[in-house]
Amino acid sequence: MSAVNGNEELIAIGNIIEERKHDSARAMKENEQESEQAEVVRAELFQLFADGLKYGKDATFPNITEWGKRIGRLAIEHGVQLEQSLLGTTTFRTYVWDMLEDVFRENQFSSQTVFQVARIIDPLLDQAVYAYSTSFIYAYKDELDEAHDEFLKLSAPVVPVLDGIAILPIIGSVDEKRAFYLMDTTLQEATQKQLNYLFIDLSGVTIVDTMVANSIHNIIQSLELIGVKAILSGIRPEVAHTMVSLGINFSDIQTYNSLQQALSMHAFDQ
């Protein structure tokens, strides 16, 4: 970038900030007892402020936005709390303006230049905070989604008990996304393990609604298409009543009160 302000004082202040960026970042790190990485991040931000004064606020906006996004993602990776970061923004803003006050006093810049600096530095810092916060939230959401996906994968364990026989214990609530994972994982595991029988245990299912009942029924029908016989166990009276009231037909499916009962009737006779 080339200087486009046409204001020699702004450019001069930008040069001073650039010259002092490492010393300023190091001093703040020591005062706030921050890490070495925080010092590097602060120095980068000081450089962006210098660029804003030397080359113009608009020219620097894209770079400071990218900086905020990158640091937001980095914060998630290092377990930094968003609230902690935002509280630190006030401290940083105060530190920047204390530094600038020293610069103004040392060089006797005009009051007009002071106001011009404020109109550049404050919007740049606000944009950095906005980009950081937005990136942090999106990265945090992505981590939650990934963790949820991993949980869903682990929440559909097909456990072999004998050759060709396995158990699928379903525990907790079943939403639409989990129902998809149950279907997908169950069919893949049944094929890979060359199952003949799969005992689906519902003793840990807390709520059965139309979606849950239909999902279980669809899993059973899909298993039949690949040659696996599904047997239901652990159906509590209130769950059975709900299934009947929902009009889901399980009359062609073998059901048992407990997994132990189902295994004793089938698995050990194979």
Mind spelling out the 3-state secondary structure of 19-48?
HHHHHHHHHHHHHHCCCHHHHHHHHHHHHH
Report pLDDT for 13. 93
pTM: 0.58
Report pLDDT for 11. 92
Is residue 139 within 8 A of residue 82, CB to CB? The reply is no
Q: Which CATH superfamily is domain 159-269 in?
A: STAS domain (3.30.750.24)
Report pLDDT for 214. 81
8-150 CATH? 1.10.490
Report pLDDT for 234. 82
Is residue 233 within 8 A of residue 267, CB to CB? The reply is no
Q: CB under 8 Å to 95, separation ≥6 — which residues? A: 24, 28, 31
Report pLDDT for 6. 47
Report pLDDT for 153. 57
Name residue, tokens 């709900």: 242
Report pLDDT for 57. 92
pLDDT beneath 50, residues of the chain: 2-6, 270
Report pLDDT for 119. 93
Residue extents of the structural domains in the chain: 8-150, 159-269
Q: What is the pLDDT of residues 214-230, one digit of tens each?
A: 888 888 889 999 999 98
Report pLDDT for 3. 47
Report pLDDT for 189. 86
Burial (CB count <10 Å: 0-12, 13-18, 19+), residue 165: buried
Report pLDDT for 52. 94
Report pLDDT for 269. 52
In a 3-state reduction of DSSP, which class is residue 2?
coil
